[in-house]
Amino acid sequence: MSLHNEKIIILDFGSQTTQLIARRIREQKVYSEIHPYTLELEKLKAMRPTGIVLSGGPASVYDEDAPISDPGLFELGVPVLGICYGAQLMIQQLGGRVENAEKREFGKAELNIEYTAGLFAGMETAPSHYQVWMSHGDRIEEVAPGFVATATSGHSPFAALRHEQKPFVAVQFHPEVAHTLIGNDVLRNFIFGLCGCNPNWTMHSFIDSTVAEIKAKVGDGKVLCALSGGVDSSVTAALVHKAIGDQLTCIYVNNGLMRTGESESVLRFFREKTDLHVIDIDAADHFLDELAGIEDPEEKRKRIGYGFIKIFEEEANKLGSVKYLAQGTLYPDVIESVVFRGKAPIKSHHNVGGLPERMQLELIEPLRELFKDEVRELGLELGMPEEAIFRQPFPGPGLGIRIMGEVTAERLNILRQSDVIVLEEMKDSGWYRKVWQSFAVLLPIQTVGVMGDGRTYEHVLALRSVDSRDAMTADWSKLPYDLLGRISNRIINEVRGVNRVVYDISSKPPATIEWE
């Protein structure tokens, strides 16, 4: 349950940039939330949104199986902004007509603004021209009753629209992307001008409301926190501890899938630099047994997730009357685990889709609404040291999802040795803090090589380094060639069993950051 008085609800129709809409709104210190377009009208109404955004999407509104939201949302008396597909859906549902365009618009386009109020308040005197980003093959041919055009483009006579009596606005372009130079201005005008929001969603206010929420939920009960040493679980522990103090017990589980020296450094940090009560459990053998012979990535994630829960429940029974489990689920985890339009989720996150239905502990997920950079901001607001906040993300399933195929002690040893070299070189070169994530992946193939005068047939290791803001989208890092060369040379020379190193230059989408 969220304690936000003002919120913008975004209904997602499948656009790759829907998450960017949420981020751009939050950057204005206004809370936003993404829900699938199938959200029931009564549930939407109960959320009491201050405004509603209809996202873009790949479908055409006139298709038989087009994603359609409940038209009753236009009767809620709430301002609505339609973007691209969302604009076309709004116009069609309110009585207009959308057809396949003779000339499509993809990429940069020039917007001709004819009405400098509403979404375009503060712009130059009309007519004025601005670069925007278009991505559509359909266009609005006939406006719905009450709507008038506020901007045009080369191939869109209705590139932006407004209703003359109701707070409904629509744009054919994407204001959320950086290529739309007036995008932030357009969103600000919707958020503050049409919706009347106040910029009061800050990490300070988030702490106050979340601490109150945790106290109200837990009362005098006891809480376990799954502590991995990563940013998410560390900030979760700090926030829950601020709310309930000694009622919190943290559990660090060494699942045998950690990096070299990771367990020792994590425990040392929390025992020396925090007031948290931490229990450590060595369960490496248990997890390796569970993963023996398993190659399917979804099955690996779920077995790791189940293993954690089994241990947490055993510890809860030892402590007596523990009802709650706190964990660092983030908003991207939730979004990627949702089934959209009947399709499978991107992946089962160990703390979202990887938990067994029979789990006895009730979850507390105070970061569930936040993106990663917001979590870091929250950690600093809580007074946590930078060394804990600016660590690169490390997945809950650990090296288990960085080994393609079966996880064995031998293959873990190869990956650990390689991973140490990657991290050392990234830090020594000053690139560690410049990128979002950098790591090694052990592939399930072997290739021919030559070492000395002999033929080798050994493992291939992939390097992965990406730039991102929130893990929802990412681009591969343009690391210097000499840095890549040093990493490759050291791994091949220092790690027995590897004779080839490759660099992953895939962006997200279509690839994910982790390989499994």
- Which amino acids are annotated catalytic? 84, 174, 176
Q: What are phi and psi of 129, to 5 degrees?
A: -125, 130
How crowded is residue 103: how many other Cβ atoms within 10 Å of its Cβ? Answer: 9
How crowded is residue 311: how many other Cβ atoms within 10 Å of its Cβ? Answer: 18
* Number of helical H runs and strand E runs in the chain: 14, 18
283 token code pair: 């369960």
268 token code pair: 């040392």
E strand or H helix at 289:
helix 284-291
Strand order in the sheet with 8-12: 32-36, 8-12, 51-54, 80-83, 168-171, 160-163, 147-152, 97-113, 128-142
Question: What single string gives the DSSP state of each residue in 38-94?
Answer: T--HHHHHHT--SEEEE---SS-TTSTT-----GGGGGS---EEEETHHHHHHHHHT
Q: Please state, in angstroms and rounded to a whole number, the distance separating the CA atoms of residues 260 and 276.
A: 24
Helix (H, G, I), strand (E, B) or coil at 463: strand
User: In the block, which residue shows the tokens 């080798």?
Assistant: 456
8-state DSSP, 144 = P
Closest CA to 398 of 256, 267, 235, 185: 256
Q: Please state, in angstroms and rounded to a whole number, the distance separating the CA atoms of residues 268 and 263.
A: 9
> How far apart, in Å, are the Cα atoms of 297 and each of 228, 230, 439, 502?
21, 22, 18, 21
493 token code pair: 């020379």
Q: Please state, in angstroms and rounded to a whole number, the distance separating the CA atoms of residues 445 and 200.
A: 53
Q: Please state, in angstroms and rounded to a whole number, the distance separating the CA atoms of residues 353 and 479.
A: 34
Query: How would you classify the pairing of strands 454-468 and 437-451?
Result: antiparallel
